Amino acid sequence: MTLSSQIAWDDTILPFQLDRPDIRGRVARLDGALETILGQHDYPAPIEALVAETALLTALIGQTIKLRWKLSLQVRGDGPARLVATDYFAPKAEGEPAKIRAYASFDESRLDPALPAFDQIGSGYFAVLIDQGRDTVPYQGITPIAGGSLAACAETYFAQSEQLPTRFALSFGRSSLPGQAESWRAGGVMLQHMPEVSPFVQGGGSGADGLLQAKDVLGGDELEDWRRANLLLDTVDELELIGPAVQPTDLLVRLFHEEQPRVFDPQPVKFGCTCSADRVRQSLSIYSAKDIAHMTTAEGIVTADCQFCGAHYEFRPETLGFEATESGRDS
């Protein structure tokens, strides 16, 4: 494999379809984007793992939706990992990259190095939020934290909220190529069965706590096709998912050559943040001069930091709030 072919698949999502069974999917590789996300923060190892997994899920899910603006995932729990939040912004025009960002909030004093990263979340929920932009009503779907991984939570969300059997195989971690510095790499495959007629299952499912499973939604040949595709995906190696030695197209042939895989145009993705001084100023426009005074430091300024990218903003208090006495462009 040449360096140019490796670079071509870095930070890319490849849509595909298995024509023999009616299954669609995505192969994602996050390399530079994930390194940028995690390189801006000094997260402990369990938090890094949760952010990496959530970012990879966000890239895979975001590319499956006819998205005009933004898809977000939120993982909230009562454990030391309190929040993981990600955003996936749809490309503004055909051929442009999508943008992704992520951050985490946690209580370092409560982290237990003996516990797996997922167990640091505790009880809570996994939320999918879709915002199609101005003049639309945002959508929110929630599923409980369960199943042993965030990928399992995402599978439960699709089964329960969309009644679409869904499977994720993910791998992520720090790796290095000969002669190169160590960096974050992540890769994954998403499978989703598209039934001929979308069913609506009433009542509880056969899973834990009455949650729906694939066998509650599919039947007959469809269920057998789904099980076969899952068995094939079970054979994937973690290094095959991460790459770069195996290109996504080669990976699909290795796994699903008998299922007649067909690929579509790949979607590039990169780190991107939408924060700006104007956005911060707008968010503070609901506050009175008295409120702004409480936010003002001893140095006479109001400061704000972006949790996603770490950008730092400074403002003169008289330029903020609905009682501002001056217009301001300082930051």
Pairing of strands 166-175, 98-106: unpaired
Q: Tell the CATH superfamily of the 3-271 domain.
A: Hsp33 domain (3.55.30.10)
Q: 104 φ, ψ to 5°? A: -135, 150
pLDDT of residue 4: 42
Contacts of 52 (CB under 8 A, 6+ apart): 34, 38, 172, 173, 184, 186
CATH number for the domain formed by residue range(s) 277-319: 3.90.1280.10
pTM for the complete prediction?
Answer: 0.86
Domain boundaries, the chain: 3-271, 277-319
Q: pLDDT tens digits for 187-220? A: 999 999 986 644 444 555 556 655 555 565 665 6
pLDDT of residue 209: 58
pLDDT of residue 166: 95
d(CA 264, CA 194): 17
Bridge partners for 185 per DSSP: 173
Q: 119 φ, ψ to 5°? A: -70, -15
Matching fold, domains 3-271 and 277-319: no
- Answer whether the bond into residue 244 is a cis peptide, omega within 30°: yes
DSSP state of 229: H
Residues of the chain with pLDDT under 50: 1-5, 7, 197-201, 331
**Residue bearing tokens 């698949």:** 9
pLDDT of residue 311: 87
Beta strands in the chain (DSSP E): 12-18, 23-30, 70-77, 81-89, 98-106, 124-131, 139-144, 166-175, 183-193, 261-263, 267-271, 302-305, 312-315
pLDDT of residue 222: 84
